[in-house]
A = this chain, B = another copy of it.
Amino acid sequence: MSVPLHSLRAGVIGTGFIGPVHIEALRRLGVQVTAICGSTRSARACADRWGIPEVYGDYDYQALIRSPNVDVVHITSPNKVHVAQALAALRAGLHVVCEKPLGMTSRETRRVVHATAAGQTPVFAVNYMCRFFPAVLQMRALVHRGDLGRIMHVQGHFFQDWLLHETDYNWRLLASEGGQLRAVGDIGTHWMDTVSFILGARIERVFAHLETFHKTRYRPRGEVQTFAKADPATMVPYRVDTEDFGSVLMRFGRADHPHADGVHANASISQVAAGWKCSLALGIYGTRGSVRWDLQQPNEILLGRRDEPCQILQRGTAGFSEDVAGFTDYPGGHPEGFPDSHKMHYRAVYEHIAGGRKSPVLFATAEDGHQEVRLCEAILKSSRSGRWVKI
């Protein structure tokens, strides 16, 4: 690494749930957070709380991009403005960390791919930060080294329950705001990206069945915060045009190593699964062993064997590989969590920016973000046709 991370300066667009997650993670790394952009009121509040010197209200992201004190732009705004903001930042020569999904349609996300395809461009990362849980990196290492043998099948789910009731409201429920696919788009893509990353292979075909259980929901009259409670008395009904649930079967293509070609995967995605809060769970089954993991207990992997005892691989202990050690800061038994995955993601991106430029690039690129949008489109098409669809 040629320059220390604390010499790099981040500007953050967006002050909702995820914006402060970025800010906090950046500060842990020593990165300077120099600018914030959002509604005038919340940008100001955010700046006051964190001591951020430059404030751009009125959602004036162009002004933030023009600041001479920003090296990297973090886009944590609503989905539908991601692409415009990303393109503007890239045009200004700034590096970008963009929240997922990269955009609303593959047509618009393709533009970002093209903008980053040239030779000496800025660094562009999409925030599929689940790749940076040490357990995910460890599972990837096990697969790539052949420790699990030939991978045969993958099963899992991403289950939440924050939209269980018909009175739960969030802008993501509206296709016009969040995109045509909601459960699959918002959390299913995390599952697919994580499994692709672990396997080292891309999804080539999908079969899906989507359902909307609450075809009518009720929303508050005004604005609401994510995860906030609403008062039923003030609510108005609306037609839901996004899915609550999806069963998705996937066929992966050739892997970038010899152990995971043509793998079949099966995921259930739900935002109405009572009791689960944020369970991205997966099991990867090979001819010599299996691994299972759940984001809700991120420090442990269960390693399944046939002819010897199953093992519990614990982050920070002998069960984890040396090459994963760079992605964890706390010793075994001192649990890390969700915020640490953000920190590790941004560390990888910023070290890349700072001069590292390691290969392979571990973080999700514009191409990876574009792939997830294409997958969503294929999943919708499959559910409507009742057939397998190629990407």
A292 CA to B333 CA, complexed, in Å: 17
Smallest CB-CB separation from A157: which chain B residue? Answer: B155
Type the 1/0 row for A1-26, where 1 means its CB is closer than 8 Å to any CB of B.
Answer: 00010110000000001000100100
Chain B residues near A207 (CB, 8 Å)? 207, 209, 386
Asked if A209 contacts B30 (CB within 8 A), the reply is no
Contact of A279 among B276, B296, B333 (CB under 8 A): B333
Min CB gap A31→B, angstroms: 9
* Chain A residues packing against B (C-beta within 8 Å): 4, 6-7, 17, 21, 24, 27-28, 30, 32, 48-51, 148, 150, 152-153, 155, 157, 160-162, 164-165, 207, 209, 211, 213, 227, 244-245, 247, 249, 264, 266, 268, 270, 272-279, 283, 285-290, 292, 295-299, 302-314, 316-319, 329-340, 386-388
Contact of A311 among B30, B165, B279, B312 (CB under 8 A): B312
A312 CA to B10 CA, complexed, in Å: 39
Interface centre among A275, A276, A314, A333, by most chain B C-beta atoms within 10 angstroms, is A275
A305 CA to B48 CA, complexed, in Å: 37
Smallest CB-CB separation from A245: which chain B residue? Answer: B153
Min CB gap A213→B, angstroms: 5
Interface centre among A4, A148, A268, A279, by most chain B C-beta atoms within 10 angstroms, is A268
How many copies of this chain?
4
Asked if B50 contacts A268 (CB within 8 A), the reply is no
Asked if A318 contacts B314 (CB within 8 A), the reply is no
A285 CA to B299 CA, complexed, in Å: 23
Asked if A49 contacts B30 (CB within 8 A), the reply is yes
The 27 sampled A-B contact pairs (Cβ below 8 Å) are: A7-B51, A27-B28, A30-B50, A30-B51, A152-B211, A152-B244, A152-B272, A160-B333, A207-B209, A270-B285, A272-B285, A273-B283, A274-B286, A275-B305, A276-B333, A277-B331, A278-B332, A279-B333, A299-B337, A306-B318, A310-B319, A311-B311, A330-B338, A334-B338, A337-B340, A339-B339, A387-B387
Chain B residues near A273 (CB, 8 Å)? 153, 283, 285, 290, 304
Asked if A310 contacts B264 (CB within 8 A), the reply is no
